[in-house]
Amino acid sequence: MAQQSTAHQASVTVPGANNGGSDRRALLLKLFSGEMFKGFQHNAIARDLIMKRTLKNGKSLQFIYTGRTSAEFHTPGNSILGNSDGAPPVAEKTITCDELLISSAFLYELDEVLAHYDLRSEISRKIGYALAEKYDRLAFRAITRGARSASPITKTNFVEPGGTQIRVGSTTNDSDAFVPNNLISAFYDAAAALDEKGVSTDGRVAVLNARQYYELIQQVGENGLVNRDAQGTSRQKGNGIVEIAGIKIYKSMNLPFLGNYGTAYGGTTGVTDPGNTGDFIAQTDKTKPGGFEDADGSATGIKNDYGTKTEFGSKSCGLIFQKEAAGMVEAIGPSVQVTKGDVSVIYQGDVILGRLACGADYVNPAASVELYVGASAPSAF
């Protein structure tokens, strides 16, 4: 058995020790918070597409609707004391902050030492992905609900326009949702509807299923009606490169799509499951992570009504909206926490926690358009 010399042990430099203390890792960095933010920002597309407000010192945020008013010719000699009908009418929309949304993992210190890769970075990135996924799902469900809703302004003769639902294709097959010509026609119908309802052209976007997006971009070179501001691989990234009728197109796997999130296989979709898709994609068992869950006010942690599985149905296949369609209030932005001190000593590891306190709801229904397939539009709730 080989013997180790201890003659020079005291001269070994330990750069990780705090002032030469016994903990050789006290000063070593815990590199994960930046990865968490990066993971969230790269995956939460809804955050930049709707109105986002910071909530402080309160549980909810109020949005005010102001309806339209009328104009009339003045009669000489008459006093001007405001319109006799009391216009413009005003209503409100209140968005409440849901309970704290968290994603966490426990990292055993010995595992971290033995691993040949950066565990903290990888785990924190996945935490960011989880928060971004939930964030987008809530936002897109709120927009969908708005597309099925009437305006809060209901004063007689001053009712404001509500949401819009546009059918994609003319058959009862779900495969209509993937036909480029059907989608292009729906986009122009949606643009016209938004124009007719007085919605600004600034900030109009669409979010589609990934297969819909790729079907469309294959038509860019051949179809003169589809505008593009970039060529080559950049248009395939799904980041709003392709435009139809001035509407930038994004793709997302967190979109309510034919009863699932982001995709649907089998049935009349004409799409074959590629196999080995995992639990997070197109689950037929709705109790599993990939399932379309209930998220109405009765669900744990939910303070806004994002709808149940039944209320959403199985025919929604895309969203077109303008920035005013929905609002997201954030009481605590995406942030990260880690245990330290005595807790880390007792458990010989750290809990990495990503957290977010937010809530979403539709704001201006007129700015929301839901695409659907089938003979009848999904019902409002």
pTM of the predicted protein model? 0.84
> In terms of Cα–Cα distance, which of 235, 204, 239, 202 is closest to 220?
235
Q: Return the domain boundaries, the chain.
A: 33-66+87-372
Q: Per residue in 137-188, pLDDT tens?
A: 999 999 999 999 999 888 888 889 999 999 999 999 999 999 999 999 999 9
Return the CA Rg of the chain. 26
Average pLDDT over residues 42-61: 89
Residue 233, pLDDT score: 53
CATH code of 33-66+87-372, in short, is: 3.90.1690
Q: Per residue in 346-357, pLDDT tens?
A: 889 889 899 999
Q: Label the pairing between strands 60-66 and 90-96.
A: antiparallel
Q: Per residue in 181-229, pLDDT tens?
A: 999 999 999 999 999 999 999 999 999 999 999 888 877 655 555 555 5
- Cβ atoms 17, 23 nearer than 8 A: yes
Q: Which of 7-21, 50-64, 74-88, 321-335 has the lowest mean pLDDT?
A: 7-21
